[in-house]
Amino acid sequence: MDELQRLIFEGENDTVDFKQRVTKPEKIARTLVSFANTRGGTILVGVKDNGYISGIDPEEEKHSLDLAAGFYCVPPVLVLYEEIEQEDRIVLKVTVPESSQKPHFAKVKEDDWRGFVRVKDTSVQTSKMVNKTMEQAPSQFEPLPLERHETAVLDYLQLHPRITLKQYMKLSNLSERRAYRTLVKLVIHGYLLLHDKEKEDYYTLA
């Protein structure tokens, strides 16, 4: 089994996404941002959700992806291309490395930029941490000021190897929704790492 077949066989997950075509650069930008903000990932363009290889015109897809990465992502997201021929069809393997310039934001509409991270096989919006309008260039972002319930989880992880959402809810006395948003916020800003390979997701210090 070659690498392409292996990726298709394993299915979509926190580091792999299938796309039959890239028709809307503004939509694929969310996936690019979510990979760059998390652990990086691979998009297979020319593969349907069920794993069927439909094939594409690589130049057309690269044009849409370049537009998405450069115009709909701030800061721009690095994308690397590899054309793979399979059964007389071409699949474009798009690699998005984990970024050293986190957080990245995707343009949802005019003057509305939002952050996304990859959780399992979806791009999850991190709305709490994004200003609706970005007035500053990303390079001018100040370090994220942390609130008490955010420093609490970092202090806890200095003494313990990991924490789950339930443990953090108990520690911080927050609702599930607020606790989850806080943990995601700390992941996108590079304080925590999300681990979702086991039965229950858990977080460690980055």
**What are 100-113's pLDDT values in tens digits?**
888 899 998 888 88
The hierarchical CATH code for the domain 147-205 is: 1.10.10.10
Among 174, 172, 165, smallest CA distance to 195 is for 165
- Interval 152-160 mean pLDDT: 93
Q: What is the dihedral of CA 145, 150, 151, 153, to 10 degrees?
A: -150
Residues of each domain in the chain carrying CATH 3.30.950.30: 3-124
Q: Where are the domain boundaries for CATH 1.10.10.10 in the chain?
A: 147-205
At the second CATH level, the architecture of 3-124 is: 2-Layer Sandwich (3.30)
Model confidence at 30, pLDDT cuts 50, 70, 90, reads very high
Backbone angles phi, psi at 113, to 5 degrees: -110, 135
pLDDT for res 128: 45
- Relative to beta strand 89-96, strand 105-109 is unpaired
- What's the pLDDT at 143? 54
Model pTM score? 0.67
Percent of the chain having pLDDT more than 70?
Answer: 90
pLDDT digits (tens, 9 = 90+) for 51-71: 999 999 999 999 999 999 999
Task: Report, as an integer, the average pLDDT of 148-157.
Answer: 92
